[in-house]
Every structure is written in structure tokens, then in C-alpha cells.
Amino acid sequence: MLRQPQPEEMDRLYQMGYDAWGDGDDMATHLRDCRTSEKYASGEWFVWDHQGQAVASLIVFHDRYRLPGGCYGIAAVATDPDYRRQGYASDLVNAVVAWLIERNQARAVYLHSDIDPLFYRRLGFECVATGSCCMVRIIHPDFSQGDIPDYF
């Protein structure tokens, strides 16, 4: 189930991405950096809840990183290592995209893939340009891709 995290869950969310974004730091340093991250503070966090526990998370951005008007960016998609390969990240991304369409009339949703883009292609995203890690899921049929948003 899609929901927003409780403040006391944030360290758990930061830990989900430690293996990908820890940059060789120890966990204490990683958590400190996440807690003070302007990027992390500037987005809206969402989690996928399984039996009362946040098992996957991501951030949504709007009006930042040169995102076109009416468009949103998804970043920091992560799943708790104990719950990986069970479809929770896919469920989360799909639910967030549906929420953005329903609540915000999103024209398109962007992300920068740090993993094999096939995962996101299965969720309806396409690479915006050859050799780019930026991907987009176009929602509105008359949406026209302009400049590639900055990495977020």
C-alpha cells in the first residue's frame, strides 16, 4: 500500500539505499549525510507498506532540476534488502505514477536510472536519448520532450 513515511522511519529509508549510495562511508556517516541532504529534504517521500512496514521508498520532485512544467521526477528508488525481488519497488513506482496522474495531472514522469533500464522499461519508461540514463514515462499524449532534466 502506498503511503508517506512517518518521521521516525526516515533512517530506515536511508538505510535501504546504503549499498547503492553509501559511497564507502560507514553507516553513521551515511545516515548523517542523508539527514542533512538538501536533495532529500526538498522532495516528497513515499513508501510501499507491506504488513505495516515500509519495504520500498522513493522521492518525488517537482519544479526542480529543470523538470518541464507539469512534470515530476522520481529518485532514490530503493527496497529493503530483505524484501528485494518481490515486486515492491515496481508496485511503489506504479502507485506513485498513478497518484501523480490522479492528484496532480502529471504530463510526464522522469527518472535517472542508476540500474539496468530494463526494470523501468517494464514500468512504461523510455530513455530520452541514446546513451542517457534519463528516462521518461509520457502521460499526456501531446507532451513534447524538451531539454533533458538535470540529474536528480
Domains (range + CATH), the chain: 2-138 (3.40.630.30)
Indicate if the pLDDT at residue 26 is higher than 90. Answer: yes
Indicate if the pLDDT at residue 32 is higher than 90. Answer: yes
The pLDDT of residue 151: 92
Question: For 73, left (φ over 0), alpha (ψ -120 to 50), or beta?
Answer: beta
Q: How many residues does the chain have?
A: 152
Instruction: Name beta bridge partners: 46.
Output: 58
Q: Could you say which DSSP state residue 69 is in?
A: T
Amino acid at 122: R
Q: Each residue of 109-121: pLDDT tens digit?
A: 999 998 889 999 9
The pLDDT of residue 114: 86
| Separation of alpha carbons 115 and 25, rounded Å | 21
Identify which of 67, 63, 61, 70 has the alpha carbon closest to the alpha carbon of residue 149: 67
Q: Each residue of 141-150: pLDDT tens digit?
A: 889 888 899 9
The pLDDT of residue 144: 85
What is the residue-averaged pLDDT of the chain? 95
SS3 string of 14-61? Answer: HHHCHHHHCCCCCHHHHHHHHHCCHHHHHCEEEEEEECCEEEEEEEEE
pTM: 0.93
